[in-house]
Amino acid sequence: MISRSALRASRRAGRKALALVPLVIGLSLAFAPNAMAACCSVKSGGSPNANSIHSLYDIIFVIAVLVFLTVTGFVVYSVWAFRASKHPVAAQIHGNTRLELGLTAGAFVILVVIAVATFIKLPGIINPPNSDSGAASVLSASLTAPNPPNGNKLTICVTGRQFIWRYTYGADCNKAAWADKLPYSYQEMVVPSGETVDLVIQSSDVIHSWWVPALGGKVDAVPGFTTYAWFKALHANELYHGQCAQLCGREHAFMTALVKVVTPSQYEAWLKQQATLISQQNDQVAELRQDLIKQGYLTPSGIF
């Protein structure tokens, strides 16, 4: 027979073990490799500007951690060293010139370090580099900023609408996209590796924000305005995930962005195929329109 005290002790042990289960699961998830990936920094590795942002973020993060540990350590030391049991009557100290000058000088040094690091990394974030030597023939020059030193870049117009991204490919994508019958795609942008991509970002309705973290910082798409960004995908056969980073309506959470990186030759082939498919679909729509007009369902002006 099991005594009541042993049974109660067993139940208590069981409840304690059960209470530890959520803690163990939480710690396991928190310290899993995927969960810890880029947990304390921004994503990078997809483009030089993203790498520069990552490096600058890490520098400032390390400085912030050191400041936090220093202040926290000083507070903990003060609480312990000047506890009431050891010092019943607190010492009243008015003014400490050396300490004040030291704190001011320390803050000044921190600001100088951050400013120097920022100005060193800023050109790599703002100014796009040249494309690699094996750039494809589809590259087009444009006068819009940003501009690589040699002026060769691939221009893609990014248009935000509720609730999907449209990508139009070509130097004049923001001027004569329809007249020139430029190829386009939705949600997934296709780019060649090693080539500088100039993004011309616009919105057709409300404010959106195009953001693929591994390729750089987010850029707002504002109605009536044109904003610019750039990236240079370093590796082919990669798929980068992004998201609209500006609350734009009830379906905002589903407004994702994808960037598929292929080789320059694969990009040329895809671009030609995309243009052919769009042309075929336009021809089908034109035939359907003519049939509807003949049957009396549609007038030549498009009014029923």
pLDDT of residue 138: 46
Any idea what DSSP says for residue 253?
G
Tokens of 38: 């880029």
Spatial separation of the C-alpha atoms in residues 264 and 191, rounded to whole Å: 8
pLDDT of residue 156: 93
In the Cβ-directed half-sphere of 256, how many Cα atoms lie within 13 Å? Answer: 7
- From the CB of residue 81, how many other CB atoms can be counted at a distance below 10 Å? 9
Contacts of 72 (CB under 8 A, 6+ apart): none
- From the CB of residue 130, how many other CB atoms can be counted at a distance below 10 Å? 15
pLDDT of residue 5: 64
pLDDT of residue 34: 44
pLDDT of residue 32: 46
CA nearest neighbour of 159 among 136, 177, 137, 139 = 177
Below-50 pLDDT ranges, the chain: 29, 32-37, 137-143
Spatial separation of the C-alpha atoms in residues 134 and 132, rounded to whole Å: 5
pLDDT of residue 255: 95
Regarding beta strands 227-232 and 238-243, do their DSSP bridges make them parallel or antiparallel, or are they unpaired?
unpaired
